[in-house]
């Protein structure tokens, strides 16, 4: 699973990477720098509309399907499993034609109670596979953009910490992933296979417990400082 991640990105650079025109960057809605982004908070998504134009905008992290009567669902929707996203009623419509890419600086996974921070070895942005949905409470209410991160089975190094990881979108899959005319159910398998190489190349290290930092009001780069564990004294 992925239930915490970091955002410290140059949005102009992200827009350029995905060929998003300046007029299609909704800057006021984009999230501020945070190393402790949690479900329900604002994240950034890159998505492509039916007009072929790509947009970079803010969204609430936890997908609400269009048909839901409420945005307070009784089950978590901040992650969608790649194995079942196409068949689960909550995510099926979004899988077919409302896919997005969620930029991040890095993300956290837990081994028991110990958090680890995963990031690109060169600290380049990570581009996680996502789904989005528009929801509103009634015809008179404004639309709310919501999104979820797709997760997959962890392999190699990441699997030593947790059995799940975010699905990273490889450069060769990005155009198809964002194209709403392509049925996403045909992309999930190839996206996973292509994303494995990116995941295997990630660097990661243990960090201090996030709940302690949250109580202290820390949300900056101090959260990703490596924890140095001293070896126990050996007498023999």
Domain map (residue ranges) of the chain: 5-215
- The tens digit of pLDDT for each residue in 65-104 reads 999 999 999 999 999 999 999 999 999 999 999 999 999 9
Q: Does residue 30 sit in helix, strand or coil? A: coil
CB neighbour list of residue 60: distance below 8 Å, 6 or more residues apart:
40, 41, 42, 43, 144, 145, 146, 147
For 53, the enclosing helix (H) or strand (E) is none
Residue pair 4/38 in contact by the 8 Å Cβ criterion: yes
The pLDDT of residue 99 is: 98
Give pLDDT < 70 ranges for the chain: 1, 213, 215-216, 229-236
User: What is the fold, at CATH topology level, of the domain defined by 5-215?
Assistant: hypothetical protein yedk fold (3.90.1680)
- The tens digit of pLDDT for each residue in 161-185 reads 999 999 999 999 999 999 999 999 9
**b/e sequence 168-200, b meaning 16+ C-beta within 10 Å:** bbbeebbebbbebeeebeebbeebbebbbebbe
The CA-CA-CA angle for residues 222, 225, 226, to 5°, reads 160
pTM score, whole prediction: 0.94
**For residue 148, what are its two tokens?**
């979820």
Q: Where are the alpha helices (DSSP H) in 18-140?
A: 89-97
């Amino acid at each position: 699973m992925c239930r915490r991640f970091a955002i410290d990105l140059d949005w102009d650079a992200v827009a350029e990477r995905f060929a998003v025109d300046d007029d299609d960057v909704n800057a006021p809605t984009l999230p501020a720098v945070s190393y402790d982004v949690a479900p329900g908070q604002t994240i950034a998504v890159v998505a492509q509309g039916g007009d072929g134009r790509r947009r970079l905008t803010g969204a609430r992290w936890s997908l609400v399907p269009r048909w839901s009567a409420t945005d307070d669902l009784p089950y978590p929707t901040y992650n969608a499993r790649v194995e079942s996203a196409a068949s689960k009623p909550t995510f099926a419509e979004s899988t077919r034609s409302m896919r997005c890419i969620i930029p991040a600086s890095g993300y956290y996974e837990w081994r028991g109670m110990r958090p680890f921070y995963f990031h690109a070895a060169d600290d380049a942005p990570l581009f996680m596979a996502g789904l989005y949905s528009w929801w509103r409470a009634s015809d008179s209410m404004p639309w709310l953009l919501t999104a979820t991160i797709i997760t997959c089975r962890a392999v190699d190094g990441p699997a030593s910490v947790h059995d799940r990881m975010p699905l990273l979108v490889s450069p060769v899959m990005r155009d198809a992933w964002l194209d709403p005319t392509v049925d996403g159910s045909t992309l999930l398998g190839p996206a996973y296979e292509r994303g494995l190489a990116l995941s295997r190349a990630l660097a990661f290290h243990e960090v201090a417990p996030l709940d302690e930092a949250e109580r202290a009001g820390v949300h900056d780069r101090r959260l990703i400082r490596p924890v140095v564990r001293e070896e126990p004294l050996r007498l023999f």
